[in-house]
Amino acid sequence: MTSRILVLVNPSSGKGKASLAAPTAEQRLQQRGHEVVQVLGSDFDDALARLRDSIEHERPAAVVACGGDGTVHLCIQALAGTGIPFGMLPFGTGNDNATLHGMPADPVGAADIVADALHAGRTKVVDAGLAVSADGVSRYFLGVLSSGFDSMVNERANRMTWPKGNARYLAAILAELRTFKAVPYDMVVDEGLPTEERVSKRGMLVAVGNGTQYGGGMQVCPGALVDDGLLSLTFLDELSTPTFLRVFPSVYKGTHVQRPEVHEHAATTVRLDAPGQVAYADGERIGPLPVDISIVPGALRLLVPPRDGAAT
């Protein structure tokens, strides 16, 4: 039986890699018996509006993100709570969410996984984080929300016009290291619950994870589980620049949490505040702090490989 799949394509993902891979993936989905409707937009808001309209009128069997974490982030704004199966074709730069759930960066292989999962009714029900920033922006996220050094690097890189690509991000890191100072954070964890905790201290970064990783493989919240109804909060204390440079690389293996300067908390809600800071989630700018973060259990149904999903 033919089913209709909406494919949201971000042409700029992976330096154009998504636009090159999309036709191959779409053709494969068609070969597997699915009708494919491509959705494009001129920017985030336009693409989201078009996706929501297509979901309402096309009544798809599934929605697929063809791009990177930003494309995934966009899709889940329309999908959270709908029960519509969601697939990921990872053709961006970081692809942390797709990688976490076992999706290969191969157009045919990824399309086959989506088609097989849809045919078998194999989905993985996962949570989503929900962040509301000081300017009223409300966004779901699948992976990690962060504030501090890495978000300031993103802010700096977004202001830069040169160099291009990954070199710009590296230049932003080096520039931020020269000026970055520990941030005075106020945090409220599980407000109103018996587990409520209030913390005021200076730190280098804060990460609130539904998933474990961001930034192209950094395991910043290694204790996070996407289906446990909890957020994982990781806080890095104030450090000197030399010590910070020694600690930071360990985030790629998740071993940073073994250090005494790193603290982990499990939470259902987190209120995060600090002067002059912004929050990023799934690599996308959310807005200025304070930000209120909560977990939304069972918000999404992912189309995933057999080892990562179960028939539902």
Residue 75: its pLDDT value, please? 97
132-297, CATH topology level: Tumour Suppressor Smad4 (2.60.200)
Q: Tell whether the model's pLDDT for residue 89 goes beyond 90.
A: yes
- The 8-class DSSP code of residue 71 comes to H
The 8-class DSSP code of residue 60 comes to -
Distance (Å, rounded) from C-alpha 34 to C-alpha 19? 20
> What is the residue-averaged pLDDT of the chain?
92
The full set of domain ranges for the chain reads 3-120, 132-297
User: Is the model's pLDDT at 60 over the cut of 90?
Assistant: yes
Answer yes or no: are the C-beta atoms of 29 and 114 closer than 8 Å.
Answer: yes
CB neighbour list of residue 129: distance below 8 Å, 6 or more residues apart: 140, 141, 142, 145, 208, 209, 210, 231, 281, 293, 294, 295, 296
The CATH H-level superfamily of 3-120 is Probable inorganic polyphosphate/atp-NAD kinase; domain 1 (3.40.50.10330)
pLDDT of residue 162: 86
| pLDDT single digits (tens) 132-148 | 999 999 999 999 999 99
To the question of pTM greater than 0.95 for the whole model, the response is no
